[in-house]
């Protein structure tokens, strides 16, 4: 069946398998099944609505509205609701049930949920505050020690300025690493040690500027190599020649030249049509160990899933989700957390939950409908307690009401977001101008609220890392592209000296954006293998200069 998106007007397809999935996740109340209808929004607009609910990487300094303490939060100080520091939010110092209310059948469901949403206090950041050690400036992260500005990252130590890195040590400026140490500006790497500017590589060490390499050591400006040592530009060199080339990279201007040269060199080598391994019957990118998966990105261990993004733990029978783990039967959810079953139309429910609908910020619950900020509760609607029977009768009536108002089956409207659009993940994947956002009635942050206060250095930084004075760590630097303030923290300077690499000239947000641009966008194109002609869907656009190979042609290109 073809449908027209009610948001953007694009045509999108709903398959018979999709309809069977909606039927499978439809809830039953009082013995009657409440069918989940097919979506009214296209997959992209559905994803935009979900990621607009999260600000992961922009932090602010503000006060806790209960204790008055100065805290770090992803909520701005001018947010129109109360924000509590995590240890307070998760304590008994306040009761979310105090905000409970009756459902009014003369009003729309979303109007009433939005009212509740803006009075219940929110937690300051999302991190494992009781497991973390010296990791105040992290978000969507947990079990980290001595980390600064890392996001969507767990189990790291001494890591800075990175996104989606897990079980890493002493890594900086990286994106999607696993079990890496002393890595800098690395993207999509596993088990690497002391590497810089390395992408899509595994088990490499002491190397700089690598792409698609496995098991390489002491390599520089190399692509598509397997188990090589002392190579520069894919040719063997002596140990002395390698050391000489590598030592030149301590200078900012020479590093920029090397970066430009490697950008040209790496496109000479064939690329595999998708990133990932151990997959069966998948359409997606950056996938590992997935089976029967369609239109999924940055995921591992999925089974029978569609439109899933950034999920790393086993998921089965899941559609339209952003960042969930160890879950089954989820539909239209964002940031569900671990251990979730039968969860529909929710955001930030944080795990240990089952049979939850239209709720947010509510971990450790069962059977909730339209609740915000609850913990360890069951059978609640709009933060009000009911008996099991009364809960089922009321929820059935509310769904019937929502069927009439065309709200049943829709995720939260985009303006439910607790963040300005330009501070959310949506701005990364679905960028809007201020004018476009305001036309849609979305909140837009016009003024930056920096976490940095102090004297701004106006003069340029030294070209070579060896000439960088330690006193600059006390000052505020200004991004030469965005004008935003940034800082060099003392631990960071030590790492730059250890890696013999120059210091950044851009703010963290811009550095993060540039790394995202080195990965393929989440868009599919129909292409054929440049060697054997087999057809596939790929995120490499047809006008890209690289040769794109199917799996088997790519593997045999190393023989």
Residue ranges binding Zn ion (CB under 5 A): 5, 7-8, 10, 42, 45, 529, 531-532, 534, 550, 553
**Residue (90 or 430) nearer to Zn ion, CB:** 430
C-beta of 402 vs 550, nearer to Zn ion: 550
Minimum Å gap between C-beta 183 and Zn ion is 32
Closer to Zn ion by CB, 5 or 66: give it: 5
Report in angstroms how near the CB of residue 25 gets to Zn ion at its nearest.
22
The least CB distance from residue 199 to Zn ion, in Å, is 22
Q: Cα separation of 285 and 274, whole Å? A: 5
Give residues with Cβ within 8 angstroms of 387, minimum separation 6: 379
Q: Which residue has the tokens 């930084």?
A: 461
Judged by beta carbon, residue 494 or residue 523, the one nearer Zn ion is: 523
Q: Look-up: residue for tokens 């783990």?
A: 325
Helix (H) or strand (E) holding 207: strand 205-211
**Closest distance to Zn ion from the beta carbon of 557 (Å):** 10
Write down the least CB distance from residue 332 to Zn ion, Å: 14
Nearest distance from C-beta of residue 550 to Zn ion, angstroms: 3
Of residues 473 and 534, the one with the C-beta less far from Zn ion: 534
Secondary structure class of 187 (helix, strand, coil): strand
Minimal distance in Å, beta carbon 64 to Zn ion? 39
Give me the phi and psi of 431, to 5 degrees please: -65, 140
- 392, containing H or E segment: helix 388-404
Q: How far apart are CA 478 and CA 491, in angstroms?
A: 19
Secondary structure (DSSP) of 118-155: TTS-EES--B-TTT-BS-TTEESBBS-BS-EEEES-BS
Q: Which is nearer to Zn ion, 166 or 557 (CB)?
A: 557
Report in angstroms how near the CB of residue 13 gets to Zn ion at its nearest: 13
User: In angstroms, what is the minimal distance from the CB of 546 to Zn ion?
Assistant: 14
Please state the closest distance from residue 433 (CB atom) to Zn ion, in A: 18
Q: Which is nearer to Zn ion, 468 or 524 (CB)?
A: 524
Closer by beta carbon to Zn ion, 523 or else 532: 532
CA distances from 120 to 95, 367, 374 (A): 9, 19, 10
Distance from CA of residue 253 to its chain's centroid?
Answer: 32
Q: Strand 477-478 and strand 384-385: pairing?
A: unpaired
Name the residue nearer to Zn ion (CB basis): 10 or 440: 10
Q: Which is nearer to Zn ion, 304 or 551 (CB)?
A: 551
Per-residue H/E/C for 292-355: EEEEEEEEECEEEEEEEECCCCCEEEEEEEEEEEEEEEEEEEEEEEEEEEEEEEEECCCCCEEE
Angle, helices 109-117/388-404, rounded to nearest 10 degrees: 120
Nearer to Zn ion, 59 or 319 (CB): 319
CA 443 to CA 322: how far, in whole Å? Answer: 22
Q: Enter the tokens of residue 309.
A: 């993004």
Collapse the DSSP code of 553 into the 3-class scheme (helix H, G, I; strand E, B; otherwise coil) and give the result: helix
Residue 269 structure tokens: 């080598």
Q: How far is CA 263 from CA 184, 234, 399, 506, in A?
A: 17, 14, 54, 19
* Distance of alpha carbon 58 from alpha carbon 399, whole angstroms: 36
Count of C-beta atoms within a 10 Å radius of residue 505? 17
| Cβ closest to Zn ion, residue 191 vs residue 551 | 551
Least Cβ distance, residue 533 to Zn ion (angstroms): 7
CB of 553 to Zn ion, least distance (A): 3
């Amino acid at each position: 069946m073809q449908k027209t998106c009610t948001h953007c007007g694009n045509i999108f397809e709903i398959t018979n398998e999709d309809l069977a999935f909606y039927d499978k996740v439809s809830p039953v109340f009082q013995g009657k099944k409440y069918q989940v209808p097919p979506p009214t929004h296209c997959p992209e607009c559905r994803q935009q609505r979900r990621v607009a609910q999260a600000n992961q990487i922009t932090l602010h300094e503000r006060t806790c509205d209960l204790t008055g303490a100065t805290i770090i939060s992803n909520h701005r100080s001018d947010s129109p609701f109360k924000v509590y520091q995590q240890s307070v939010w998760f304590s008994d110092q306040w009761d979310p049930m105090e905000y409970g209310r009756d459902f009014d059948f003369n009003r729309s469901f979303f109007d009433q949920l939005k009212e509740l949403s803006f009075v219940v206090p929110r937690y300051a950041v999302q991190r494992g505050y009781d497991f973390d050690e010296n990791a105040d400036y992290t978000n969507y992260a947990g079990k980290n020690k001595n980390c600064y500005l890392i996001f969507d990252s767990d189990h790291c130590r001494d890591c800075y300025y990175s996104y989606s890195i897990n079980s890493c040590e002493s890594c900086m400026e990286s994106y999607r690493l696993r079990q890496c140490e002393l890595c800098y500006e690395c993207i999509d790497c596993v088990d690497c040690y002391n590497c810089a500017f390395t992408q899509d590589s595994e088990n490499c060490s002491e190397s700089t500027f690598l792409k698609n390499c496995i098991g390489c050591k002491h390599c520089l400006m190399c692509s598509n190599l397997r188990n090589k040592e002392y190579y520069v530009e894919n040719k063997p060199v002596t140990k002395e020649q390698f050391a000489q080339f590598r030592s030149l990279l301590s200078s900012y201007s020479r590093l920029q030249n090397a970066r430009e040269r490697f950008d040209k060199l790496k496109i000479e080598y064939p690329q595999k049509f998708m990133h990932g391994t151990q997959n069966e019957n998948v359409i997606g990118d950056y996938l590992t160990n997935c089976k029967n998966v369609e239109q999924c990105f940055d995921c591992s261990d999925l089974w029978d899933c569609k439109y899933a993004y950034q999920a790393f733990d086993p998921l089965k029978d899941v559609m339209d989700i952003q960042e969930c783990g160890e879950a089954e039967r989820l539909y239209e959810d964002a940031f569900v957390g671990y251990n979730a079953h039968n969860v529909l139309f929710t955001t930030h429910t944080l795990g240990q939950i089952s049979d939850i609908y239209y709720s947010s910020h509510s971990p450790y619950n069962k059977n909730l409908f339209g609740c915000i900020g609850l913990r360890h509760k069951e059978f609640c609607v709009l933060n009000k307690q009911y008996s099991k029977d009364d809960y089922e009768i009321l929820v059935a009536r509310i769904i019937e009401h929502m069927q009439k108002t065309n709200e049943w089956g829709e995720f939260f409207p985009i303006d439910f977001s607790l963040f300005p659009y330009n501070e959310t993940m949506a701005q990364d994947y679905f960028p809007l101008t201020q004018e476009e956002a305001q036309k849609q009635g979305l909140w837009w942050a016009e003024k930056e609220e920096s976490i940095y206060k102090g004297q701004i250095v106006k003069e340029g930084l030294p070209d070579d890392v060896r000439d960088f004075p330690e006193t600059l760590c006390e000052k505020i630097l200004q991004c030469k592209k965005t004008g935003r303030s940034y800082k060099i923290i003392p631990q960071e300077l030590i790492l730059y000296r250890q890696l013999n690499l120059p210091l950044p000239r851009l703010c963290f947000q811009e550095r993060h954006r540039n790394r995202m641009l080195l990965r393929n966008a989440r868009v599919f194109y129909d292409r054929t293998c440049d060697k054997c002609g087999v057809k596939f869907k790929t995120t490499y656009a047809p006008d890209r200069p690289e040769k794109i190979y199917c799996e088997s042609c790519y593997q045999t290109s190393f023989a």
